[in-house]
Amino acid sequence: MRIVTRPTTEASVLGGTIVLAEPACQHRPARPVSPWAGEEGTAGRVAVVGAGKMGLPLAAQFASHGWDVVAVDVNEEVVAGINAGRSHVGEEPRLAALVAEVHAAGRLRATSDGAAAAREADVVVLIVPVMLDEARQPDYRHMDAAVAVIAPGVHRGMTVVFETTLPVGDTRNRFAPALEATSSLAAELDFFVAFSPERLYSGAVFANLSTYPKLVGGIGPASTDRAARFYASVLDAEVVAMSSAEAAELSKLAETTYRDVNIAFANELARYADRVGVDLTEVIRAANSQPYSHLHQPGIGVGGHCIPVYPHFLLSRAPEMGLVARSREVNDGQVEIAVSAVRQALGSLDGAPVLVLGLTYRHGVKELAYSRALPLIERLAAEGARVTANDPLLSASETERLGVAPWTWGTPSDARAIVVQTADPSFASLEPAWFPALEVLVDGRNSLADLALPERVLVVGIGSPRRGGAPGA
């Protein structure tokens, strides 16, 4: 059992993507026990509340280490699929095979009855969304509902762990009291409550689970110890037992907000690089050759469930964090940079045909959460542009449901402008012959530097020198 009080693994701080080698599993087959009390080498029953793109991989991971797992979800189709041994999350490597394997072994099932699942469980892990409301404050609707569902099943000796990212203090001050009120039991004395943030990247979940240190902080030492023992039994990465739930909550907000601030700095550098005619890609590569520099990449904006959301969790409790607030403004403002580039190149957007490539928040991930394509399309349409769009992950009908006309790959288009919103590799195979009227391409992810286009087409990157275009463009 590998539980430490501070991380012992140190990744290289050289700039660029850090890929850690996955260790071989060191766990011996676990001995099933009931009730489970944290003894090394034993496994009990765990309920995973929220069987989405992160919850289902967690459930499969726990089951692969000998735990009896029930996945809880409000979607009956998801429940039925899991009970048939199928994964509804199609883009996660290894997941479908692992779900089928642990289901066949009798260690994974699903239900929509959260209270019953909690009554049978030694551990309950909650991983349901907490997003933002219209005022950019935390929206607790789903988490409050999930807590209310499991609360009647809370019993002595149970451990409840929140993996959903939360504002600092919520584990102790919002959710533990709610569990106590319904159960009439005392947290830390009768049952245990902890926070342990998921630190997962879509498309690499199982690699992340085996390499990234698992942070665990309870509302008291007993809760920390019991939750840390659980994760040590199901993960091959080291488990970091932190001083409190608040320390673990802030750690997750810090690591995510760091990326937002870093990207905002890169975007501001890009604006300056554009002004002085310097290629920021070259600059970042050079700066990051110094081990303490890890500049991120500029772009058309930041999407997804995490980076656009969690800085606001910090601001909801610490509005004085001006740097955080400014970073959100900078990154959200990148859409206007792209729209302005098209407007300047075409003279007017009124009636102009514009093609947007990439609708998901990131290439390779079929997820629209806070995708910058949506406000981009709205802004273009608001100025009169006739917008079409294509994303290799979305069907024509799915594209239409977003309120934009689909463009079929490889067919002739009258687009005078193309705005690239994701760095999907397929976009590098665009054929200029498909776009006889094309005047400008806004490369929103700096991913098409090698794309050959007619000299008449102006190519505008983010912090990279413009190329092509008519004289004076």
Q: What is the pLDDT of residue 314?
A: 97
Q: Are strands 440-443 and 353-357 parallel, antiparallel or unpaired?
A: unpaired
Q: What is the pLDDT of residue 469?
A: 83
Name the nearest CA neighbour of 161 among 317, 46, 243, 37. Answer: 46
Catalytic residue numbers read 252, 306
Q: What is the pLDDT of residue 7?
A: 83
Q: CA 90, CA 95: separation in Å to the nearest integer? A: 8
Q: Are 264 and 322 in contact (CB under 8 A)?
A: no
Name the nearest CA neighbour of 193 among 182, 179, 214, 213. Answer: 179
Question: How far is CA 21 from its chain centroid?
Answer: 21
Q: What is the pLDDT of residue 473?
A: 46
- Phi–psi pair at 216, nearest 5 degrees: -140, 125
Q: What is the pLDDT of residue 376?
A: 98
CB-based contacts of 329, cutoff 8 Å, min separation 6: none
| 278: number of Cβ within 10 Å | 16
| 244: number of Cβ within 10 Å | 20
Q: Are strands 458-460 and 440-443 parallel, antiparallel or unpaired?
A: parallel
Q: What is the pLDDT of residue 9?
A: 60
Q: CA 145, CA 369: separation in Å to the nearest integer? A: 21
Q: Which CATH number describes the domain made up of 3-243? A: 3.40.50.720
Q: What is the pLDDT of residue 2?
A: 81
Mean pLDDT by 10 residues, the chain (473 residues): 76 52 86 96 98 97 98 98 96 95 98 98 98 96 98 98 98 98 98 97 93 97 98 96 98 97 98 95 93 93 95 97 98 97 97 98 93 97 98 97 97 98 96 98 95 96 88 49
Q: Are 152 and 118 in contact (CB under 8 A)?
A: yes
Q: Which CATH superfamily is domain 252-473 in?
A: NAD(P)-binding Rossmann-like Domain (3.40.50.720)
Comma-separated ranges of CATH 3.40.50.720 domains in the chain: 3-243, 252-473
